[in-house]
Amino acid sequence: MDHQTLLLVLLFLGCLFSYTNGFQDGSSVAASPIASRSLEPARAAILTACFEFLGALAGGSAVAGSIAAITTYTAQEGFLSVLVVALFCAIVWNFFTRLIKVPSSSTHALVGGLIGSIWGRSGNLDYINFGDFGYLLHPTGVAKVILTLFLSPLIGFVSGYLLLKLSLVVFRFASSRLTRALKRMQWLVLPLLAFGHGANDSQKVMGLLVLALVGQVGVIPLPVRLLVGAALTLGVVAMAPGIVKRVGSGIYRQRPLHAFVSELASAVVVSFGSLTGGPVSASQVIASTVMGVGYADRRKGVQWLVARDMLMAWFLTIPCSALLAYLISFWTRPG
């Protein structure tokens, strides 16, 4: 394919990936309010979609820079083909995990696809910037992405656990009116989480598209923000009921207090990642926060088998998407 055709295919796949990201992670964002009956599904979906779009428009570009820093292959011939394969494999993984009703990380899938595609195309790992962990304070390259993706669920679990313990102490003498107040508070915490997710996840695709268009990531053009944000929003509207059920009630049976705490803790972790350039996985953070909340409330009530299935999907995502991308790039590379 010529350059212009490849660019059009890349833009299409970027939008399609954002769409799959919307129904994958967006379903997790709205799961707790829906499961706890704090918000009706339609209202939760619309509220989430609106603030996901705002997050994509006004979320900055720090995360886009982190994704762009993974590779130095940008000046090489065939870079557009590398991005096309990476996005295609991430999309396939997202549709597969939706089919089996397991919330996985779209970010993991994209990172794995990018690494595998570059490796298959170039025949080596020289163009992948693995970076280092920087004593956990200033990580770079792939190390920063991996560190963020694996630390954020742990932070989510601890945050959910501690915040619920604190809430149980503070509200131990509260009346039944507290439940109604917590349901109304979802109109504040759900938008906060949706905005943070929209800002974080949309930038991953924006970073790759801007790399393809201008060769480096600086200020993300408004048309790119609008395009990716719209695709992400459509994906949120096409929410995956199976994932909503799995995250909202499959891990732990949530009531309004649990839903409020898990949404608030998740919002803080995801928003902090967006501000610092850490590409977090909203699905991972939310699911692990729900586990922390359930463990703090009644550890025997946590469905650890469901949690195990999610953990397996998380750990398999990068190697599976990388392997698929490697094979496709290897088989299709010229000469």
The position carrying tokens 């083909």 is 81
Closest C-alpha among 228, 216, 175, 257 to residue 57: 228
pLDDT score, position 335: 62
Tens of pLDDT, residue by residue over 22-34, are 888 888 899 999 9
Q: Which two tokens stand for residue 314?
A: 């998380």
pLDDT at 136: 67
DSSP labels, 207-251: HHHHHHHHSS-SSPPHHHHHHHHHHHHHHHHT--HHHHHIIIIIS
Low-confidence winner among 46-50, 88-92, 306-310 (lowest mean pLDDT): 306-310
Dump pLDDT digits (tens) for 256-278. Answer: 999 999 999 999 999 988 888 88
Sketch the domain layout of the chain as residue ranges: 3-330
Say whether pTM exceeds 0.75. Answer: yes
Token pair for 173: 């003498």
